């Protein structure tokens, strides 16, 4: 009797090869394509390919709304960016993929979970840490960490040759063998010629969501986004679901060249790697959300959130979504976002996001207090005592240990 295995199947180069490889080793393989709103993929072609290779079943699970609502938006509300720039589009999706894979494994009676992440990357950590947190008894099959598989397929070139030999269609090619991962939040590009630091990534990559900034329209495009308790609920006055918000802003931001970055990042496993990312909709949301926070969130709470945001980014990037620390931070976030309600108008122009206007019924901005004109709302004499008290430790230390 064949041992049952569930494969996280993208239809790309690695998982197409791995599907056949697992079958050759006697596994009954159930391919699961988690629909994350991949903008550039032909799902019907992917289904047929898995069937033709010989999968015992091929399942497509739509999680676009859940991904945006329950995973991407909470991370965006934290303003969490890994190493200051990366919006975590790939990282955010991995725990959700593992959750859905395990649901299918339970349904079909599979005891093993296979994926195509390499032994050098972050995704192997994200998939496995999430899976083991949800189902500690699951057996992980990771071909790229197995000598037998790597001997047969030392690199992407051999995988591509294998697919060409077996008439398995894939997007990668010998001439342009960078790897891409996509969902409705972003598309990432790495490997191949991008491993050469002298290569201009923006010139090399054929972007799937964005036009290159220099090719964007010569006139700025205005967009308005409404938030309720930190959640984006409308674009240009139209009430939308979470996924519809992201999809709409991908279109608007993408045609204006917004959200492209090229970075060298520190992977969880230790090495530095180069990635090119495009995330037009989420980039617009991060910017708009911050402007509402600036109006509505108290100083000390905002500063605490800013100190904790890198912690959130690391947890997501490393793969610790299902853990007590992340649970606590998400619960904190729900409380912190209660006042973040308002509307922001932005202008998008050749890769730039420019603030146009902002408003909120919860605004803490008081023009009467903040004005540089004459006002009775703030007594400037009060600042004298405030500064004297704040400066007391410094004055005492300055007498004891003079600095000059």
Same domain, 206 and 164: no
Whether residue 166 is contained in a domain is answered as yes
Whether residue 348 is contained in a domain is answered as yes
How far is Cα 280 from Cα 220, in angstroms, rounded to an integer? 15
**Residue 14 annotated among the catalytic residues of the structure:** yes
Predicted structure pTM score: 0.93
Whether residue 41 is contained in a domain is answered as yes
Same domain, 166 and 246: no
**Domain closes at, from 176, 193, 214:** 176
Same domain, 161 and 38: yes
How far is Cα 166 from Cα 23, in angstroms, rounded to an integer? 15
**Domain closes at, from 176, 211, 235:** 176
Catalytically annotated residue among 16, 179, 188, 360: 179
Cβ neighbours of residue 266 under 8 Å, at least 6 residues apart? 83, 272
According to the model, what pLDDT value does residue 373 have? 79
Catalytically annotated residue among 10, 98, 123, 358: 123
Q: What's the token pair of residue 123?
A: 């995704």
Per-residue pLDDT reduced to its tens digit, 126-142: 999 999 999 999 999 99
Cβ neighbours of residue 229 under 8 Å, at least 6 residues apart? 337, 338, 339, 340, 341
3-class DSSP state for residue 364?
coil
According to the model, what pLDDT value does residue 167 have? 75
Least confident stretch, 30-34, 101-105, 192-196, 295-299: 192-196
- 72 pLDDT above the threshold of 70: yes
Catalytically annotated residue among 10, 59, 91, 94: 94
Query: Residue 126: which domain range?
Result: 3-176
Question: How much of the chain, in percent, has pLDDT values that exceed 70?
Answer: 98
DSSP secondary structure code for residue 134 in this structure: H
Whether residue 232 is contained in a domain is answered as yes
Per-residue pLDDT reduced to its tens digit, 142-151: 999 999 999 9
Tokens 């230390």, residue located:
397
Same domain, 169 and 207: no
Same domain, 251 and 332: yes
Q: What's the token pair of residue 42?
A: 């032909």
Same domain, 154 and 209: no
- 38 pLDDT above the threshold of 80: yes
- Half-sphere exposure of residue 178: CA atoms within 13 angstroms, side-chain side: 22
Query: Rounded mean pLDDT of 268-287?
Result: 97
**Residue 42 annotated among the catalytic residues of the structure:** no
- 172 pLDDT above the threshold of 70: no
**Domain closes at, from 328, 343, 359:** 359
201, 229, 193, 210: which is closest to 39 by C-alpha?
Answer: 210
Per-residue pLDDT reduced to its tens digit, 180-215: 889 999 999 998 899 999 999 999 999 999 999 999
According to the model, what pLDDT value does residue 70 have? 98
Task: Give how far Cα 152 sits from Cα of 55, 104, 110, 191, Å.
Answer: 21, 29, 26, 20
Same domain, 206 and 156: no
Whether residue 237 is contained in a domain is answered as yes
Same domain, 59 and 126: yes
Whether residue 63 is contained in a domain is answered as yes
Whether residue 172 is contained in a domain is answered as yes
**Residue 179 annotated among the catalytic residues of the structure:** yes
Same domain, 108 and 235: no
Question: How much of the chain, in percent, has pLDDT values that exceed 90?
Answer: 85
Q: Provide the CATH number for the domain around residue 335.
A: 3.90.1260.10
Task: Give how far Cα 77 sits from Cα of 191, 248, 331, Å.
Answer: 31, 19, 12
More confident residue, 382 or 368: 382
According to the model, what pLDDT value does residue 110 have? 97
- 174 pLDDT above the threshold of 70: no
According to the model, what pLDDT value does residue 370 have? 81
Q: How are the residues of the chain apportioned to helix, strand and coil, as percentages rounded to the nearest 5?
A: 45, 20, 35
How far is Cα 37 from Cα 92, in angstroms, rounded to an integer? 13
Same domain, 92 and 222: no
Query: Rounded mean pLDDT of 45-70?
Result: 95
190, 200, 177: which is closest to 273 by C-alpha?
Answer: 190
Q: Provide the CATH number for the domain around residue 151.
A: 3.40.50.620
Catalytically annotated residue among 14, 181, 188, 360: 14
According to the model, what pLDDT value does residue 241 have? 98
Same domain, 239 and 347: yes
* Type and span of the H or E element at 263: strand 260-266
Domain count, the chain: 2
Same domain, 35 and 132: yes
Whether residue 313 is contained in a domain is answered as yes
Instruction: Please give the mean pLDDT across all residues of the chain.
Output: 94
């Amino acid at each position: 009797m064949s041992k049952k295995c569930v494969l996280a199947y993208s239809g790309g180069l690695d998982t197409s090869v791995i599907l056949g490889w697992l079958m050759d080793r006697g596994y009954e393989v159930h391919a699961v394509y988690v629909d994350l709103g991949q903008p550039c993929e032909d799902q019907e072609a992917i289904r047929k390919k898995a069937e033709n290779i010989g999968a015992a079943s091929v399942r497509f699970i739509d999680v676009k709304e859940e991904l945006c609502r329950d995973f991407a938006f909470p991370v965006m509300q934290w303003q969490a960016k890994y190493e200051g720039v990366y919006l975590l589009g790939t990282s955010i999706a991995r725990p959700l993929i593992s959750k859905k894979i395990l649901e299918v494994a339970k349904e079909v009676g599979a005891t093993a979970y296979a994926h195509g992440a390499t032994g050098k990357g972050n995704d192997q950590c994200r998939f496995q840490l999430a899976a083991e947190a949800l189902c500690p008894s699951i057996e992980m099959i990771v071909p790229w960490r197995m000598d037998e598989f790597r001997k047969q397929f030392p690199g992407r070139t051999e995988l591509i040759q294998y697919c060409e030999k077996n008439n398995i269609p894939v997007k990668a090619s010998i001439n342009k063998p960078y790897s891409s991962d996509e969902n409705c939040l972003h598309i990432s590009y790495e490997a191949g010629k991008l491993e050469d630091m002298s290569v201009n990534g923006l010139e090399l990559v054929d972007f799937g969501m964005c036009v290159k900034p220099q090719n964007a329209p010569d006139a700025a495009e205005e967009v308005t986004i409404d938030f309720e308790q930190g959640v984006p609920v409308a674009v240009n006055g139209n009430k939308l679901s979470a996924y519809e918000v992201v999809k709409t802003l991908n279109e608007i931001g993408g045609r204006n060249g917004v959200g492209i970055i090229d970075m060298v990042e520190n992977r969880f496993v230790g090495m530095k790697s180069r990635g090119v990312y495009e995330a037009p909709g989420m980039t617009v949301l991060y910017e708009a959300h911050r402007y509402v926070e600036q109006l509505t969130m108290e100083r000390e709470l905002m500063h605490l959130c800013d100190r904790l945001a890198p912690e959130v980014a690391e947890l997501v990037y490393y793969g610790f979504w299902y853990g007590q620390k992340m649970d606590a931070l998400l619960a904190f976030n729900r409380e912190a976002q209660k006042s973040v309600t308002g509307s922001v108008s932005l202008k998008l122009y050749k890769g730039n996001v420019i603030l146009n206007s902002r408003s909120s019924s919860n605004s803490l901005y008081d023009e009467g207090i903040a004005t540089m004109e004459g006002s009775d709302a703030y007594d400037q004499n009060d600042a004298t005592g405030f500064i004297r008290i704040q400066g007391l430790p410094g004055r005492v230390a300055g007498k004891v240990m003079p600095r000059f």
